[in-house]
Amino acid sequence: MASLISPTTLKTFLTTTLADTALQSIIDAEEMEITQRFGAHTTQIDELENEIPGQDVFLKRKAASISEVVETVVTAMWMDDIETAATTLSADDYEIAADGVTVRRLMTGTNPRLRWGERVKVTYTPEAESAKRIMVLVDLCKLTLNYRGGLKSESVGGNEYSASFSDYQKEREAVLSTLAVNQRGIA
């Protein structure tokens, strides 16, 4: 996977004496965390378990387009045996709501149903968010480079000394949360 940002570009946002190879290692680690938490930038596959199937399912990220929706429904239950049927839905069986993260099941279409089945697998292309990811990446790299034992600020005035310490993990989570479009969906 090619990085969204190079060490040279990162240096336009901050001042550092680190070598490009060291900066690239930091960039790679931060991009890996972003990808693990929010999926690859190009495509996303959400497998959603519906404990109480409703009319809507919620994606992790805004969808630019949906390429496939597979719905699995329970067809029969006998003692310890459950029978299911999976159906690849037609585009007229669902719609993406205006918010881009809500996929609504439709009563019209080729396979009409009021509610989603017990399992829904949605394969979609997320809305372009390169600029947003780059800024999050820059902010995470800044945090990593600036973190020095948690000391945020220090001042000495006369006989008084004061220091404040940052919560590195809390600051990281605040930066990463800007990529979390959908707080209702799967984390």
Is residue 185, in this structure, part of any structural domain at all? no
Same domain, 92 and 113: yes
* pLDDT, position 19: 92
Same domain, 116 and 137: no
Tokens of 151: 């000391």
Is residue 186, in this structure, part of any structural domain at all? no
* pLDDT, position 41: 67
* pLDDT, position 157: 65
* pLDDT, position 92: 96
Q: Which domain holds residue 121?
A: 44-126
Buried b (16+ CB within 10 A) or exposed e, 12-21: eeeebeeeee
pTM of this prediction exceeds 0.85: no
Q: Tens of pLDDT along 62-98? A: 888 888 999 998 889 888 888 999 999 999 999 999 9
Is residue 74, in this structure, part of any structural domain at all? yes
Q: What is the DSSP letter of 80?
A: T
Cβ atoms of residues 68 and 77 within 8 Å: no
Percent of the chain's residues with pLDDT above 70: 82
Same domain, 17 and 67: no
* pLDDT, position 165: 60
* pLDDT, position 123: 86
Residues of the chain with pLDDT under 50: 182-187
